[in-house]
Amino acid sequence: MRIGIDIGGSKIRMAVVDGGQIYKKIEAPTNAAESEEAILANLCDMIRKIMNSNIRGIGIGVPSVVDAEQGIVYNAVNIPSWKRVYLKDILEKEFRIPVFVNNESNCFAFGERYYGEGTAYRNIVCVTLGTGVGAGIIINDVLYNGNNTGAGEIGSLPYLDADYEYYCSRKFFDRNNISGRDALNMALVGDTQMILLWEEFGKHIGKLINAILFTYDPQAIILGGGLSAGYQLFSEKMFDVITTFPYPETIKRMKILLSRKEDIYLLGAAALVV
């Protein structure tokens, strides 16, 4: 048994994981405006609630650049007090079991590779479309971190007058004065303006996928995150752009899949434990 933890700017989620199954899942507010010490105390209290003698390790995904070897979290997104947190050392001292820390997008990729849509593939890129844009990369069945677990920060790549995150994340909808959820609901009942907005979004996603194909040439790209819920509204325009990719055989052999498991981040975080 292992504990998988997903730390976000708004909430902390965790569960006991065994054999790819989720048990005893809990969540609580991150209280991100609080001090480093207060957030850590809350995290430890939560872990104690699900800890048992059969737990052999803890895996944690965080929205930040991470020193995965040392388990140090740097400048966590939307958690201002977490500038440099020695998370692995703190939790190993507290619970006396191994702790593994990685970027949340890498946990997403790990989860998809071993428990989700990526089980049939050795080379995948798993893209999160939500508050931001990030990716976890599996190459020959090995999670590729880069030197600072920053290899999948594709949202920061320059695109048009800004970067991909500006056009492929929640920022796209914020700029149009609407949330992704509201845009989805309105489009599903036939709002023409919102349908066109999702189609425009799809064109940008197509460009993002083409950039991934140039860079990593994966067998499959798996889309997740809250905005992937609009797939049926943006996929046609996305594929229109993808078909402009200059190597047709690449397109024929590559699959685009949707993440389907609600707790894939927790499964992936737990899979960090070796």
Report the distance separating Cα 161 and Cα 139, nearest Å: 31
In 3D space, the residue among 209, 135, 201 whose CA is nearest the CA of residue 168 turns out to be 201
CB of 122 within 8 A of CB of 143? no
- pLDDT for position 151: 84
pTM over 0.85: yes
- 184-190-193-195 Cα dihedral, nearest 10 degrees: 50
Q: Where in the chain is the domain with CATH 3.30.420.40?
A: 2-106+264-271, 119-258
Query: Tokens in use for 128?
Result: 């999160």
The pLDDT value recorded for residue 262 is 86
Task: Dump pLDDT digits (tens) for 44-100.
Answer: 999 999 999 999 999 999 988 899 889 999 988 889 999 999 999 999 999 999 999
**Looking at residue 153, what is its pLDDT?**
86
Alpha carbon distance 84, 2 (integer Å) = 25
In sequence order, the β-bridge partners of residue 11 are 29
pLDDT bracket for residue 242 (50, 70, 90): very high
Q: How far apart are CA 236 and CA 241, in angstroms?
A: 9
| Amino acid residing at 116 | G
Question: Looking at domain 2-106+264-271, which CATH architecture does it have?
Answer: 2-Layer Sandwich (3.30)
Least confident range from 93-107, 137-151, 218-232: namely 137-151
Where does the pLDDT of residue 146 fall: very low under 50, low under 70, confident under 90, or very high at 90 and above?
confident
Structure tokens at 19: 């054999």
| DSSP structure string for 189-220 | TT-HHHHHHHHHHHHHHHHHHHHHHHHH--SE
**The predicted structure's pLDDT at residue 28:** 94
CATH number of 119-258: 3.30.420.40
Q: What gap in Å lies between CA 264 and CA 139, rounded to an integer?
A: 19
